[in-house]
Amino acid sequence: MRRAVALRLYAGLATMGLATATGVVLTMPAASAAPGGPTGYATQNGGTTGGAGGQTVRATTGTAIHQALCSRASSSTPITIQVEGTINHGNTSKVSGDSCNTDDDRIELKQISNVTIVGVGSGAVFDQLGIHIREASNIIIQNVTVKNVKKSGSPTSNGGDAIGMESGVRNVWVDHVTLEASGGESEGFDGLFDMKDDTKYVTLSYSILRNSGRGGLVGSSESDRSNGFVTYHHNLYENIDSRTPLLRGGIGHMYNNHYVGISKSGINSRAGARARVDNNYFEDSKDVLGTFYTDEAGYWQVGGNIFDNVTWSSRSGDNNPAGPNPQSNTTVSIPYSYDLDGADCVPGVVSQTAGADKGLKVSDGSCSPQTPDPTPTPTDPGPTPTDPTPTPSQPGGTNLSIGAGSDGSGKASGTSYGNVRDGDMGTYWSPTGSTGSISIKWGSVTTVSKINIREAAGSEGNIGSWRVVDHDTGAVLTSGSGAGVITFPQTSLRKITFEITGSSGTPRVAEFETYAG
C-alpha cells in the first residue's frame, strides 16, 4: 500500500485583473527570464537559450500560451512567454497555425524551438494539465508549478506526466519548478519528469518533485537507450516511491540533490546506463542507488554523498542495491564545469532555493544561497545603421562536395539531393516542408572546416535557423541563422549535415559546398 501523501494548498493565485476567460497575451518589455543561465548538460550541444532575443508576451490561460506560439513568424522564432495565474483544462484549447502544433488537453511544445515559459507575478500553476515537449529544441521552463496530472480518471492529460519529453528533443532546461502529484499509478498518476525516444542534453535544477509514485525516467523500455546526457542538481525529491530517476542507457549526473522519504528505490541505473552521483544527501529512505527490477545492469560513480538513515535490501535476482557501502563501478567524465556544495549543507541550501516562487535563488558552491543579478534591460540602441553587413567572401580551395554523395530528409517534388553538389545554381533541393536536412557524404574520412550554403534565385533569405551536424557522431558543430559561408573547428568526418530548423518561406538550397580550410 502506498503511504498517505500530503498535499499543499496553493492560495493567492489569481489571474490578472485585465484577463478574460480566455486569457490575454500582451506585448511586454524584455524580461529577465532565466537569470544566471543554464547549467549542466543543457549547456552542451550548442547551449540552451530558449526565447532569448525574441518578443516577450504575457499569458494567463493555456489558450493564450498556445496563441503566443502560433502567432510567431515561424516555428523557430524566439519567444518568451510570461505566465501568471492558474492554467487548467477550462482555459486551455488547441490553437492552429503554421508556427505551432498544439492540443486541447496539455500545453503542447511540439515541432518548435527557441521558447521560454516562465512564471511571473503572483505565480503560475498548471493544475491537472501537463507540459509536453516533442520534436523540439532549445526550450526553457522556469518558475512554474505543475500538479496532479493524471493518466486515468478525470480529467486526463499528457499520459499522466507533469513534464514529458519525447522524439528527438534536444537542449531543455527546467529550473525552479515544483512538480507534484497526490499518489501513484493506482491513483491515476505517472511520472513527474519523463524523457524517452531520443531526448538529450537536459538539465533539471533547483526544483521540487514530491508526493508521487514515480519521480521520472530516462528511456521508456530496456531497448530505448538513445536518451541521456541529463543533469539533476539542487533538487528535492520528497515522498517518492521510485525513479529518482530511472536511467536506461545514457549518462546522468546527479549532484547536490536532497532525497527524503524514498520508499522503494531511488536512482535506478540499468540497461547499461552510467550515473555520476556527487555530494547528495539521502535521508530516511530505502535502496537509494542501484540496479532494480531488471537483470540488465547499470553503473555508477559515487563520491561525497551522505546516507542518513538509509536502509538497504539484500541483493537477489533483479534487486541489486549499491549499498550498504556504495562503491564506484565505472567512471563518468563530465564535460562542463560545476560548483559542488558540501553534502552536509545540501538540505539547507535546497530548502532555500528549490521550487517555484523562491526568487530564483541559486547556490554559489559555498553553501550560501544567492539571488542572481537580474539581466539588464537593453537600452534603446538608436536607429539601425543603414549600411548593409558585408557579405562574406567566397571560400577558397576545392569544393569537396563535387564528386561526393548526398542524401537528406524528404525532398519536395521536382528536386533532388544531387542538385546541391552539381555546381549548377539553376537546380536545387527543397525539403517537403519548412524544415529539413541535407547531407554531403564521402567514402572515406574527409576534413572540413567551412561550408557555403547558397540559396536558389528567388528564395534568398528564406532559410532561418540551422544547425551543422557531424552525422557520424551527432555532435553539433555550429548553429546560427541565414545562408552563406559558415565556419567551425576543423573536423574529420564521413558525412556532414545542414539541418534547417526554421524558415520564413520554402527553403531552396542550390549548392551545399564544403571546404577543408
pLDDT per residue, tens digit, the chain (517 aa), is: 333 333 322 223 233 333 333 454 444 433 334 447 899 999 999 999 999 999 999 999 999 999 999 999 999 999 999 999 999 999 999 999 999 999 999 999 999 999 999 999 999 999 999 999 999 999 999 999 999 999 999 999 999 999 999 999 999 999 999 999 999 999 999 999 999 999 999 999 999 999 999 999 999 999 999 999 999 999 999 999 999 999 999 999 999 999 999 999 999 999 999 999 999 999 999 999 999 999 999 999 999 999 999 999 999 989 999 999 999 999 999 999 999 999 999 999 999 999 999 999 999 899 999 887 654 333 333 333 333 333 345 676 789 998 899 999 888 887 999 998 988 888 999 998 888 899 999 989 899 999 999 998 878 888 978 889 898 888 888 887 788 889 888 899 999 999 898 877 789 999 999 998 7
Question: Which residue type, as a one-letter code, is found at position 44?
Answer: Q
Query: Sign of the C-alpha dihedral, residues 373, 81, 188, 9?
Result: positive
Backbone φ and ψ for 185, nearest 5 degrees, come out as -65, -35
Place of cell 573547428: 489
Place of cell 542538481: 233
How far is 117 from 15, CA to CA, in rounded Å?
A: 17
How far is 72 from 99, CA to CA, in rounded Å?
A: 6
How far is 66 from 103, CA to CA, in rounded Å?
A: 9
What is the model's pTM?
A: 0.70
Q: Give the pLDDT of residue 240.
A: 98
Within 13 Å of residue 325, how many CA atoms lie on the same side as its CB?
Answer: 0
* Catalytic annotation, residues: 243
**Is residue 82 within 8 Å of residue 31, measured between CB atoms?**
yes
Helices marked H in 152-221: none
Backbone φ and ψ for 219, nearest 5 degrees, come out as 105, 125
**In the chain, how long is the greatest CA-to-CA distance?**
74
Q: Give the pLDDT of residue 394.
A: 62
Closest CA to 112 of 78, 164, 76, 65: 76
**Is residue 286 within 8 Å of residue 308, measured between CB atoms?**
no
